[in-house]
Amino acid sequence: MKNKIGNVKEDRHYAAIDLFCGVGAITHGLIKSGIPVIAGIDSDGTCKYAYEKNNKSTFIKEDVRKITGDFLKKLYPKGCTKILVGCAPCQPFSKHTQKNKKRSEDEKWGLLYSFSRLVEEAEPDIISMENVPQIQKQKVFADFVNKLKKLKYQIFYETVYCPDYGIPQSRRRLVLLASKLGEIKLLPKTHKKSNYRTVRDTIYKIESIKSGGKSKNDPLHRASNLSPLNKIRINKSTPGGTWLDWDEELRSPCHRKETGATYTTVYSRMEWDKPSPTITTQFYIFGTGRFGHPEQDRALSLREGALLQTFPKYYKFIDPKSEISSQRLGIHIGNAVPVKLGTVIGKSVIKHLLDKCPNIKYK
Could you tell me which of 349, 345, 353 has the C-alpha nearest to residue 173?
A: 345
Cβ pair 15, 82 in contact under 8 A = yes
The arrangement of strands across the sheet holding 58-61 comes to 58-61, 37-42, 14-19, 81-86, 126-131, 172-179, 154-161
What distance in Å separates the CA atoms of residue 155 and residue 15, rounded to the nearest whole number? 20
Cβ pair 55, 8 in contact under 8 A = no
CB atoms < 10 A from the CB of 212, how many? 12
90 has catalytic annotation: yes
The catalytic residue among 21, 80, 87, 90 is 90
Cβ pair 200, 272 in contact under 8 A = yes
Question: How many alpha carbons lie under 13 Å from residue 282 in its C-beta half-sphere?
Answer: 9
Provide the annotated active-site residues: 90
